[in-house]
Amino acid sequence: MNAINAIVHLANNADPARRRKLYRQRSNPFDLRDLNFEIKYRFNKDTVRTIIDLVEDDLVQSARGGGTCPELQVLVAIRCWGRREVQDDAGDLHGLSQPTVSRICARVAHAIANKANSFIKMPITIGEQERISAKFRAIKNFPGVIGAIDCTHIKIKKTGGDMAQYYINRKGYYSLNVQVVCDADLKIMDIVARWRGSTHDSRIFMESNIKQRFEDRQFRGRLIGDSGYPLLPYLFTPILRPSRPEEEAYNNAHISTRNTVERCFGVWKQRFQCLLHGLPVSLQNGKAVIIALAVLHNIAIDMNDTLLEQHMEQVPVTPQLSTENSVHDNRPSLLRRRSQLILQNFINQHF
């Protein structure tokens, strides 16, 4: 038997129980029409290529060329986050197994979240702060605002352990209470995504880095937030029982201006349906996903990628005056009086 016949004989008589590695057929998502691509992958093709370029070096294949290419990893992760698809279904669509999709989503989330400092940042220079303040003032003539602050609950999987009960929010489901500061363009400038769902908004703020930065007078403007936050010289809240026309006018301007953060949540969650319906991942990976999606939200704004909003059902956002009471106010009475005096002088001067 010559060498060729020997090879054929061995192949024909190979162990039938031995599994052969099968490679699934993979299509190229970039071959889709532009609108269809954007509906399925939440961004236009130029934005997705920008995202791929951003994290490509962090998603390299093995030295032998195996694994999934960075382009496909980013597309798979975005599709899972954006369309709330089951990982098994997303894997079938892209020729991948469910465990592979799970690992890809975690890997891409951490790669993007590691870039957060370049895309999520408060204005530093006086010029930047003045430009943001001017855009806020154009909404309802509310001067001096450089950020709108609020918290939103992101549903997570049921967690175990002794601390599990603290992740249950006042609506009865497990969540992370995520604090966001945004500008008038709905861009996220600061985000905190580590607090349990039962934590009050005011506590998150009082222990946040952004509060300390305002205390250190790094900013010339102020934040606006709902009545769940304490009134501070650099954080204006609504007047719950207005007694003068000027206070009514202040409240109306405050509601319309602060509504930017509600709209930010609406656009953010509409683009990424997992933020609306829940994150089917571990708690640690969930925190990375939230930060990564904030980065992607800002990239979309920078790229003026808004076509998706015209073709998808929008998350309803209704401006309203929050009636949620703040936690027990244990600030020194002198600070409370000073904050109230600053607010009244502001109202008398501008309204």
Tens of pLDDT, residues 284-321? 888 999 999 999 999 999 999 876 665 554 544 444 44
- pLDDT band for 33, please (50, 70, 90 cuts): confident
Mean pLDDT of the chain: 82
Buried b (16+ CB within 10 A) or exposed e, 137-159: bebeebebbbbbbbbbbbbbeeb
Q: From 293, 327, 337, select the one nearest 78 (Cα to Cα).
A: 293
Q: Are 177 and 209 in contact (CB under 8 A)?
A: no
Give the least confident one: 208-222, 258-272, 333-347. Answer: 333-347
| Residues across the chain | 351
Measured distance CA(51)–CA(166) in Å, rounded: 35
Provide mean pLDDT across the span 77-93: 67
| β-sheet bridge partners, residue 179 | 151, 192
Inter-residue contact 42 to 271 (CB < 8 Å): yes
Most confident of 28-42, 181-195, 326-340: 181-195
Paired tokens of 304: 């003026």
pLDDT of amino acid 157:
85
Sheet holding 145-155, edge to edge: 188-196, 175-182, 145-155, 222-224, 235-236
- Predicted confidence (pLDDT) per residue in 243-294, tens digit: 889 999 999 999 999 999 999 999 999 989 889 888 888 888 889 999 999 9
Q: Tell me the two tokens of residue 159.
A: 């967690």
Choice among 21-30, 96-105, 147-156, 246-255 with the minimum mean pLDDT: 21-30
Q: State residue 153 phi and psi, 5-degree precision.
A: -90, 130
Q: What is the pLDDT of residue 99?
A: 79
DSSP per-residue codes, 228-261: TS--BTTEE---SS--SHHHHHHHHHHHHHHHHH
Residue 264, CA distances (Å) to 152, 161, 187, 268 in order:
11, 33, 7, 6
Are the C-beta atoms of residues 244 and 251 closer than 8 Å to each other? no
pTM of the full predicted structure? 0.82
The DSSP element (H or E) to which 32 belongs, if any, is none
Residue 264 near residue 179, CB atoms below 8 Å: no
Evaluate whether 267 touches 246 at the Cβ level (below 8 Å): no
- The per-residue pLDDT for 307 is 64
Q: What pLDDT, on a 0 to 100 scale, did the predictor assign at position 136?
A: 96
Residue 166 or 311, more confident: 166
How far is it, in rounded angstroms, from Cα 229 to Cα 207?
Answer: 12
Give the percent of the chain with pLDDT over 90: 44
Exposure on the CB side of residue 143, measured as CA atoms within 13 A: 7
Q: Which residues of 70-105 are buried (b: 16+ CB within 10 A; e: fewer)?
A: bbbbbbbbbbbbbbbbebeebbebbebeeebbbebb
Average pLDDT over every residue of 201-220: 93
Is-contact 29 42, C-beta < 8 A? no
In angstroms, how far is CA 201 from the centroid of its own chain?
Answer: 17
In this structure, how many other beta carbons lie within 10 angstroms of the beta carbon of residue 109?
Answer: 23
> In percent, how much of the chain has pLDDT > 70?
79
**Per-residue confidence (pLDDT) for residue 223, from 0 to 100:** 95
The contacts of residue 304 (CB under 8 Å, 6+ apart) are none
